[in-house]
Amino acid sequence: MSESVERAWSSEREDDLEALEVLVRGVLGDIDRYEAQLPHLVVCVDLSLGDATFSGPFASYAQAQQVADHERRSVGPSSQMIFRVTPLYPPLRLAPAIDGAVGDAAVGAGER
């Protein structure tokens, strides 16, 4: 490949990558704005047991984060508990399956 062709090809790829980066940043920004409007949960994971519990929903990320911070302080720094905040998405709308069943239970339901 000649140097001028290689330079042009490289330049086009860089332009494409920059355009892709702008697009991805825009999509991620849209997701962040959407998630900010959702209720949020506090997820507590007990690392010693592997169990997870949830509290909420809270009206905003800020409210859930306040609760998570309070819980984190109440158990202390040596605790095996971790607290995270996550958005609570609305339930998925699943299409009705055979005989009106939903999910795995619907597989082959009409064939029995």
28 and 50 housed in the same domain: no
Residues 84, 44: Cα–Cα separation, whole Å: 7
What is the rounded average pLDDT for all residues in the chain? 80
Percentage of residues in the chain with pLDDT exceeding 70?
72
8 inside domain: yes
Sheet holding 51-58, edge to edge: 51-58, 40-46, 81-87
Instruction: Tell me the per-residue pLDDT of 33-86, one tens digit each, with 9 for 90 and over.
Output: 888 889 999 999 999 999 999 999 999 999 999 999 999 999 988 889 999 999
Q: Closest Cα to residue 88, out of 36, 52, 22, 21?
A: 36
Q: Tell me which DSSP letter residue 104 carries.
A: G
12 and 47 housed in the same domain: no
54 and 17 housed in the same domain: no
pTM, two decimal places: 0.59
Quick one: pLDDT at residue 75? 92
66 and 25 housed in the same domain: no
- The total domain count for the chain is 2
63 and 73 housed in the same domain: yes
12 inside domain: yes
Task: Provide the domain limits for residue 81.
Answer: 39-88
Cis peptide before 57 (omega within 30 of 0): yes
